[in-house]
A and B are shown apart, each in its own frame.
Chain A
Amino acid sequence: AQSVSQHNHHVILSEAASLELGCNYSYGGTVNLFWYVQYPGQHLQLLLKYFSGDPLVKGIKGFEAEFIKSKFSFNLRKPSVQWSDTAEYFCAVRDGGSYIPTFGRGTSLIVHP
């Protein structure tokens, strides 16, 4: 079965710091990759997704992610975080044999003003 690892469970940053959240998956075939964000008390919203093409994906709110197939990774980045980025971030991976993606355990990001 597919597994998704998010290595950073809790990240604390100051505003304007750069962010990189790791996501690794186990499936070796074709994958669809997603990052979702969950602001406090809210539901999950899609930040960005990768299906094919350019491995560097731009999402909403200045986020981007890079798909590195050889490393089975899809790390999320943002050059300068804001206090409003405080949220939980989930990586999700769907492999070719499944209709529904597998989610990582999430990374809690706290940004201090």
Chain B
Amino acid sequence: EAQVTQNPRYLITVTGKKLTVTCSQNMNHEYMSWYRQDPGLGLRQIYYSMNVEVTDKGDVPEGYKVSRKEKRNFPLILESPSPNQTSLYFCASSLSPPGGSYNEQFFGPGTRLTVL
């Protein structure tokens, strides 16, 4: 089944304790991105990646890191989480067929993170 998976789905942690949220897609998609969703603010893009070893900042990258060592995986890393990073996080991927035209994004199930 074609899908985007995220782990963990729920995480409660404390300020300063490094954590990683994994994201994996099995659709051979080139584009992957991370969003955070907060009430009244909608989805805001954190980082995106156009291909392996190619990543770029989105609108709210501060406090986050990503890596794209393999096409299927795009982990989100919080080196020193803070309470303002308490949010719902979504990973998404999309295909870039030959010619570079864009297709819609497929979203993962979300990771609800609480930083105490």
**Which residues of A does B touch, CB under 8 Å?**
6, 9, 32, 34, 36, 42-46, 49, 90, 94, 99-106
Chain A residues near B81 (CB, 8 Å)? none
Interface membership of B75, Cβ < 8 A: no
A2 → B minimal CB distance (Å): 11
Chain A residues near B108 (CB, 8 Å)? 43
* Mask of B41-69 contacts with A, CB within 8 angstroms, 1/0: 11111001010000000100000000000
Number of A-B contacts (CB under 8 A): 46
Interface membership of B70, Cβ < 8 A: no
- Given contacts A99-B31, A100-B31, A100-B33, is CB(A105)–CB(B41) below 8 Å? yes
**Which 5 pairs across A and B sit closest by C-beta, in order of nearness?**
A105-B42, A103-B43, A44-B107, A43-B107, A106-B42
